[in-house]
Chain A
Amino acid sequence: MKELLTLEGVGFVYHTPDGETVAVDGLSFTVKEGEFVSVIGPSGCGKTTLLGLMSGLLSPTEGKITFSGGEKPGYMLQRDELFPWRTIRKNVLLPLEIKKKLTKENAEYADSLFEKYGLADFKEQYPDRLSGGMRQRVALIRTLVFKPEVLLLDEPFSALDYQTRLSVCEDVYNIIRRENKTTVLVTHDISEAISVSDRILMLTPRPARVKKVYTLDFKEESPLKRRKNPRFREWFEILWRDLNE
């Protein structure tokens, strides 16, 4: 498999008037094409900083990040961040407007995504009419619309209640698989990481280094099916133990 995103000895230092904080230190990791990778670690360990580095919003103070895909990675945040003054459709077209790629074909592609993922009836509505789960699905479509090869998800389900979280996670996972996207998910939820990932990257407390990488042995099962698989508990115990070690 092609290596899509490579981090070599990446370090990142935050400077504030009170001093400097090493957020990431000597981190090397590779994301391969079509992979679903989750990043977990103790809270405040620099997971979000890592995502910022992968997206190119932050430049590493040390080391090198190589991205061999075409379009810049698509970013999905904790909250949907839909603009309340735009209709659902206009929200989804926003990245195309910004990239000056709002062509007829691309708009049709957006419409086809609405169609495919059961949101066509809500296209002309405003975000405040939609439930939290639906809004997060719209946010995903907004990320898919400019056809990025890599998706970066920053705890995209953590603002949802537990029931919704499970079903939206299931939806999002299926959509990502169907669209065949390479994905990096940052989460503090071990079970969520196990339910969706091919590989899990565990970070140390700050400064973030790679503590361990796990390759999961589920065979293409959806998150809800994985949660019922006996291996799920075993993986949970391994990760829980290692994380608190």
Chain B
Amino acid sequence: MNKQGYSAGHVAYLKKRRRSAVAVNVARVAILAGVLGAWELMYRLGVIDGFIFSAPSRIFATLGGLFASGEIYLHIGITLYETLAGFAIATVAGSAVALALWWNEKLRKILDPYIVVLNSLPKIALGPIIIIWFGSGTRAIIVMAVLIAVVVTTITMLGAFLETDADKTLLMRSMGATKVQILTKLVIPSSLAGFINMLKINIGMSWIGSIMGEYLVSKAGIGYLIVYGGQVFRLDLVYASTLILLALAAGMYALVSLAEKLIVGKNRI
């Protein structure tokens, strides 16, 4: 017997588990280091052309320059603003529409084909119209982000609302619950898992929207930097901006995951 009172078999099992977890992490880091190392090596040996393929050292140097000049903060700020605004507006508007459709079955039936068509339309095709209507500033980009995210939000939330357990609804009705009570005490709480799912989908959609919007029309932002880098053949800048975008998206996803943990833990779903 050891200090925790576990059997030898259990200790061996725990050790094996820990070793396997370590191995997974080591492999993950090794892949990254391997790819970056090989890339850098090929660049140094002249196998690949640095002008076209760039190299890790060049990308990090560019990143350092961007942060040192402070110029990058403006771009990050603008893209974050567009993405978050698109995310927030789409979440609120999409949930509100879903709520209206849940409430009114007739309306749901009438609007169903419109939603299906709007969902399958590539929203980017609306780019020229958006620019004409909303100008060439951040406003147009936010509209783009909203358009891309709002239909999916509506569909996901409506699905969650409609999935509410029929027997629980029957129980509520047997207690004499009104439709508002069924909504607030049953449908909304039981759709919380769907809501979080929707947030996760939405955050990705909003990124697509804001970056696409910046590709179409912008004077600043991470998407603008990427397009600009491409146009003037500064591949270092393209890679560096993409890296920043990756970090921002990962950070935002982590925030949503954190929110999920807090909400789920508190509400037992």
What residues make up the interface of A, taking CB atoms closer than 8 Å to B?
Answer: 55, 57, 72-75, 77-79, 81, 83-85, 94-95, 97-99, 126, 128, 146
Contacts of B177 in A (CB 8 A): 98
Contacts of B189 in A (CB 8 A): 83, 85
Asked if A57 contacts B174 (CB within 8 A), the reply is: yes
**CB < 8 Å neighbour of B185 from A55, A74, A84, A98:** A98
Contacts of A57 in B (CB 8 A): 170, 173-174
Asked if A81 contacts B165 (CB within 8 A), the reply is: yes
Interface of A is mostly: loop
A-B contact pairs, 10 of them (CB 8 A): A57-B170, A75-B174, A77-B167, A77-B170, A81-B168, A83-B189, A83-B190, A85-B269, A98-B185, A126-B268
Asked if B181 contacts A98 (CB within 8 A), the reply is: yes
Asked if B176 contacts A72 (CB within 8 A), the reply is: yes
In the assembly, what is the distance between CA of A78 and CA of B189, in Å?
Answer: 22
Asked if B176 contacts A98 (CB within 8 A), the reply is: yes
Q: Kindly identify, within residues 179 to 227 of chain B, every residue whose CB is under 8 Å from any CB belonging to chain A.
A: 181, 185-186, 189-190, 192
In the assembly, what is the distance between CA of A74 and CA of B173, in Å?
Answer: 11
Q: Kindly identify, within residues 225 to 241 of chain B, every residue whose CB is under 8 Å from any CB belonging to chain A.
A: none
What residues make up the interface of B, taking CB atoms closer than 8 Å to A?
Answer: 165, 167-168, 170-177, 181, 185-186, 189-190, 192, 267-269
Contacts of A97 in B (CB 8 A): 185
In the assembly, what is the distance between CA of A146 and CA of B177, in Å?
Answer: 14
Asked if B165 contacts A95 (CB within 8 A), the reply is: no
Contacts of A146 in B (CB 8 A): 175
Q: How far is the CB of B68 from chain A (nearest CB, A)?
A: 50
Asked if B174 contacts A128 (CB within 8 A), the reply is: no
A-B pairs with beta carbons under 8 A, tally: 49
Contacts of A77 in B (CB 8 A): 167, 170-171
Of listed A74, A84, A128, residue having the most chain B CB within 10 A? A84
In the assembly, what is the distance between CA of A98 and CA of B175, in Å?
Answer: 7
**CB < 8 Å neighbour of B267 from A72, A73, A85:** A85
Of listed B170, B171, B177, B267, residue having the most chain A CB within 10 A? B171
A84 nearest CB neighbor, chain B only: B268
B269 nearest CB neighbor, chain A only: A85
B177 nearest CB neighbor, chain A only: A98
A75 nearest CB neighbor, chain B only: B174
Asked if B268 contacts A99 (CB within 8 A), the reply is: no
B174 nearest CB neighbor, chain A only: A75
Decide: A81 near B171, CB < 8 A? Known: A98-B176, A98-B177, A128-B268. Answer: yes
Decide: A55 near B171, CB < 8 A? Known: A84-B268, A85-B267. Answer: no
Asked if A98 contacts B172 (CB within 8 A), the reply is: yes
